[in-house]
C-alpha cells in the first residue's frame, strides 16, 4: 500500500527536468524507457517484416543514413550520453503514411509517404529527423510513456505493490507502444523544434527548411489528416516561432559545412 501511495504522489508531481529546465512527469526513468522502447521497437519491426513493409532500397537507404547520420553526430556532441544508444532507422514502405518517429535510445522509423507526399528536400528531411531525435534526447519518450502508464495505473500499481518486475515491465513495454500514438504537448513540441533545428543547422542543413516543411504539412488536404500531425500538434504560431529562431540558428554554422556521418543501422529485416 505504501508503494501505491508513493506512485500516486508521483502522478501529482514532476519527477525530472528537461534540457530546457522544464519539470517533467516521470513514472519511468529514461534508462528504463530505453530498455522498454527496445522491446517495443523489435516487436514493431518484426510485425513490419512479416508484412513485407521494410524497404530495402539502396538509394533511399543511403539518403536516410547520410542525413540522419550527420544529425546523430551532432546529437552525440551535444548529449554525450547518447553515444551509447543503438542508433537505427527502419524505412517503412507505406506511401500513404506521412510519419516518422524516434524512440528512447535512438531507434527510429521513417515512412516513405513523407517523401511521396511532401517531396522533401534534404534540409526538410533533416528538420523532421532532427525534431524526432530531439524528442528522444529531451526524454519526451519517457514522458509520454509516463502518461500512457498513468492511464493504465492499475497495471503499474499491481507490479509495484506485488514487487513483480515482470508485471511492471509488461506495462512499460505496452506504454512504449502507446507513447507513439499519444500527442506531444505544445511545450514538448516547442522544445523539439528548437533542439531539432539546432541539430540540423550544426549538421549543415538550411534552417529555412523548418518553415517550408510546415508549410508543406499545412498544405496536405483530404478528410484524414497526416498521422504526423496527430502526434505533433501544430499551434497557430508555429511557423512564426520557427522563423524567429532562424537568424540565431544560422550563426551556429554560417557556412553550412556538413557534419561527418555517424554510421547508423538501416533495419532491412527483423532480427533473428
Task: Please report how the helices 209-219 and 238-250 are oriented relative to each other, as an axis angle in degrees rounded to 10.
Answer: 160
CA dihedral 97, 98, 103, 109 (to 10 degrees): 70
Cα distance from N-terminal residue to C-terminal residue, the chain: 41
* b/e 72-92 (16+ beta carbons within 10 angstroms → b): bbbbbeebeebeebebbbbbb
Q: Which three cell numbers stand for residue 182?
A: 499519444
The rounded distance, in Å, linking the Cα atoms of 93 and 61 is 12
Half-sphere exposure of 157 (CA within 13 A, CB side): 15
Q: Which three cell numbers stand for residue 117?
A: 507526399
Active site residue 132: yes
> Whose grid coordinates read 510485425?
47
Residues in the chain: 272
Helix (H) or strand (E) holding 229: helix 227-231
Catalytic residue among 132, 191, 198, 239: 132
What distances in angstroms separate CA 135 from CA 26, 78, 191, one per listed residue? 15, 14, 8
Q: Which three cell numbers stand for residue 232?
A: 505533433
Q: Which three cell numbers stand for residue 137?
A: 534526447
Residues annotated as catalytic are: 132
Amino acid at each position: 500500500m505504501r508503494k501505491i501511495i508513493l506512485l500516486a504522489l508521483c502522478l501529482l508531481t514532476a519527477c525530472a527536468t528537461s534540457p530546457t529546465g522544464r519539470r517533467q512527469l516521470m513514472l519511468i526513468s529514461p534508462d528504463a524507457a530505453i530498455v522498454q522502447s527496445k522491446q517495443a521497437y523489435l516487436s514493431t519491426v518484426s510485425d513490419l517484416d512479416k508484412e513485407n513493409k521494410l524497404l530495402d532500397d539502396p538509394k533511399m537507404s543511403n539518403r536516410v543514413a547520410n542525413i540522419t547520420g550527420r544529425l546523430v553526430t551532432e546529437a552525440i556532441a551535444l548529449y554525450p550520453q547518447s553515444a551509447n544508444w543503438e542508433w537505427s532507422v527502419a524505412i517503412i514502405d507505406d506511401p500513404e503514411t506521412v510519419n516518422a518517429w524516434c524512440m528512447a535510445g535512438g531507434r527510429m522509423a521513417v515512412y516513405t509517404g513523407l517523401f511521396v507526399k511532401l517531396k522533401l528536400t534534404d534540409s526538410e528531411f533533416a528538420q523532421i529527423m532532427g525534431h524526432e531525435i530531439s524528442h528522444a534526447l529531451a526524454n519526451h519518450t519517457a514522458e509520454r510513456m509516463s502518461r500512457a502508464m498513468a492511464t493504465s495505473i492499475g497495471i503499474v500499481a499491481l507490479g509495484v505493490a506485488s514487487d513483480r518486475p515482470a508485471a511492471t515491465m509488461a506495462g512499460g513495454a505496452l506504454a512504449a507502444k502507446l507513447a507513439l500514438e499519444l500527442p506531444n504537448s505544445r511545450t514538448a513540441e516547442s522544445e523539439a523544434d528548437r533542439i531539432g533545428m539546432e541539430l540540423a543547422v550544426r549538421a549543415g542543413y538550411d534552417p529555412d527548411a523548418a518553415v517550408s516543411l510546415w508549410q508543406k504539412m499545412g498544405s496536405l488536404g483530404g478528410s484524414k489528416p497526416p498521422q504526423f500531425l496527430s502526434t505533433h500538434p501544430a499551434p497557430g504560431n508555429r511557423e512564426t516561432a520557427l522563423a524567429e529562431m532562424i537568424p540565431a540558428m544560422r550563426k551556429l554554422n554560417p557556412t553550412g559545412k556538413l557534419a561527418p556521418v555517424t554510421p547508423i543501422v538501416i533495419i532491412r529485416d527483423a532480427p533473428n
